[in-house]
Amino acid sequence: MEVINNKIDKNTKIAVLCGGMSAEREVSLRSGKNVLNALLNLGYKNSILIDVDKNVAQKLKEENVEICYNTLHGRYGEDGCIQGLLEIMGIKYTGCNVKSSANCMDKETTINILRANGLNVIKSVSILKGEDFIKKTKELKFPLMVKPAKEGSSIGMNKANNTEELIDAMQIAYKSDNKVLVEEFINGYSSTVGVLEDVENKKTFATPILGFETKTEWYDYEAKYTEGLTKFVLPAPFNEELTEKIQNMAIKAHKALECTGVSRVDFLVHNETPYILEINTNPGMTDLSDLPAQASHMGINYDMLVEIVLKTALIEK
């Protein structure tokens, strides 16, 4: 990683960007408030919270912001939009750049890049609104998972066991996006791996693997953000060889998509074969989020994790 020379000190004016205009607004607000508290605990006394709206550029200018800690989730915050604005304004920011954010936000693009780099993905097709999805999904085997191509937190995502359910699921997905990814359903073990870049030591490393045991049929929005519906299993119940394989795949995926700073790679593991589902370029930082739990398991508490991510703003984008 190439690191910019200038430093971040306790007097740096830092804005935690949160809220925003996506369907994940409420989750982002929770992430942002937690991160702000951590920055203040760490002594970054000039840290403020900005709820992002169409006037965000004006707010950033008025506050003389030097660094943005991005806790936005979903559209406009995780898809390259805010990153492009910050680059135009000359403001450094945490996490991934414009290109990697945009590519990872689009599930079809992500899968194509992963496949081109020899990484295992589930058989799928991408369908634009208006196309004959019955015809395009003909070679896929039911049951199917239907996902808006550029949405996060499982929003608009449904399982279809037959053609009738597929029709309903497509209608729901198209409310969130005009492009939908349909993939074969694999009854695998859901898990995720965080990837972090240690700026001071110029090292990229994977967190322990977090497994999910949910009370819902699959790891949907309700399971992700409702306390008590999902049990975190840390570390995930994989043998040493499979654990190392998944962690190495996560780092390779992070690099293949040209991610910088931080990402979280989601997997389904079926019969000891790991499949990459997607890459999140702005992992949640709420009390129930995956990355803080993974970091904690390896001895990195919440405040330490926030500082690691903060310093990724110094990576040359």
Rounded to whole angstroms, the Cα distance separating 273 from 24 reads 31
* CA quadruple 38, 193, 124, 128: dihedral, nearest 10: 10
Q: At what angle do helices 98-105 and 107-116 cross, to 10 degrees?
A: 100
Instruction: Write the CA distances from 149 to 32, 100, 154, 155, 266, integer angstroms.
Output: 25, 15, 11, 10, 15
User: Closest Cα partner for 104 from 83, 87, 79?
Assistant: 79
Domain boundaries, the chain: 14-95, 102-120+186-299, 124-184
Catalytic site positions:
24, 153, 225, 264, 266, 278, 280, 284
**Which fold, 102-120+186-299?**
D-amino Acid Aminotransferase; Chain A, domain 1 (3.30.470)
pLDDT tens for each residue of 53-76 = 999 999 999 999 999 999 999 889
Domain 124-184: state its class: alpha beta
Domain 14-95: state its class: alpha beta
pLDDT at 256 over 90: yes
Rounded to whole angstroms, the Cα distance separating 9 from 46 reads 10
Query: What's the pLDDT score for residue 1?
Result: 73
Query: What's the pLDDT score for residue 153?
Result: 57
* Residue keyed to tokens 């006394």: 45
pLDDT tens for each residue of 90-129 = 999 999 999 999 999 999 999 999 999 999 999 999 999 9
